[in-house]
Amino acid sequence: MIADIVGSRGLPDREAAQRAIEHAVARVQGDLADATRPLTPTVGDELQGIYPDLGSAMCGILLLRLALPDEVDCRFGVGVGDIGTIASDTVGAIAEGPGWWAAREAIDTTHRMQRRTVPGARTWVSASADTGEQTREAVRIANAGLLARDQLVSAMSARARRLAYGRCLGTTQRALAVAEGITQSAVSQLLGTSGASAIVEGFRALRSGS
């Protein structure tokens, strides 16, 4: 997986944004613990990580987007394919392979869609050329769902994202209401009107197949 920060050059406090992202990554890894290698800063505004399968990557991305504050957002490119390393006399090993190339292609696609036809797009998946038709079909289905999911999350308020995050992890509406200082009926209403309930059910469907 490759991630970068949306509008990083225009952020008023780039260091604070970086800290917010790293805090969110650590929180998601603590709650989900699915990443083989959690997203790690590489250079500039980019992060890279590895997940064992597409479903886990999609769940991790969702929780990370829900965990980020209003002023910080990320794009994600997910590559499905083999990965490995090549030797380096300087750093020991460099990540390489078709999976990484596919991830680079995927995040470039996310950039293009966001600029042109789908402003709310934040995630795309690409399969490497050596994957089978069944994998490529799964990627096509995932992308169709991700476009709708991203649109909903991009339009959510910070509170709706907090509630969705909590419900994804199984926190009760009553507990969320106490944490937010609102009524349980208000929690239920916001989950419904924001589309968060659908997001949560989608998350649970992905987790049931992990």
DSSP 23-52: HHHHHHHHHH---SEEEEE-STTEEEEE-S
Please, which pLDDT band fits residue 47 given cuts at 50, 70 and 90? Answer: very high
Helix/strand/coil percent split, the chain, to 5: 55, 15, 25
Q: At residue 89, does pLDDT exceed 80?
A: no
Q: 90 or 201, which is more confident? A: 201
- How large a percentage of the chain has pLDDT more than 90? 80
Q: 50-76 burial, b for 16+ CB within 10 Å, e for fewer? A: bbeebbbbbbbbbbbbbbbeeebbbbb
Q: State the average pLDDT over residues 61-71.
A: 95
Q: What is the pLDDT of residue 91?
A: 66
Q: What is the pLDDT of residue 94?
A: 72
Checking DSSP bridges between strand 46-50 and strand 92-96, what pairing results, if any?
unpaired
Q: What is the pLDDT of residue 11?
A: 87
Pick the CATH number of 2-155 from 1.20.120, 3.40.50, 1.20.1280, 3.30.70: 3.30.70
For the chain, the domains span 2-155, 157-210
Q: What is the pLDDT of residue 43?
A: 85
Q: What does the H/E/C string look like for 70-134?
A: CCCCEEEEEEECCCEEEEECCCEEEEECHHHHHHHHHHHHHHHHHHCCCCCCCEEEEECCCCCHH
Give the pair of three-digit tokens for residue 123.
Answer: 């995630």
Q: What is the pLDDT of residue 39?
A: 93
Q: Please classify residue 120 by burial: count the beta carbons closer than 10 Å to its beta carbon, then call 0-12 exposed, 13-18 middle and 19+ buried.
A: middle
Chain-centroid distance, C-alpha 177: 25
Q: State the average pLDDT over residues 26-38.
A: 93
The pLDDT tens digits for 2-14 are 999 998 888 889 9
Q: At residue 92, does pLDDT exceed 70?
A: no
The pLDDT tens digits for 146-201 are 999 999 999 999 999 999 999 999 999 999 999 999 999 999 999 999 999 999 99
Helix (H, G, I), strand (E, B) or coil at 5: strand
Sheet bearing 37-41, strands edge to edge = 37-41, 46-50, 2-5, 74-80, 123-127
Residue 9: what residue type? R
Give the pair of three-digit tokens for residue 108.
Answer: 């470039």
Q: Which residue has the tokens 């490119």?
A: 77
Q: 183 or 129, which is more confident? A: 183
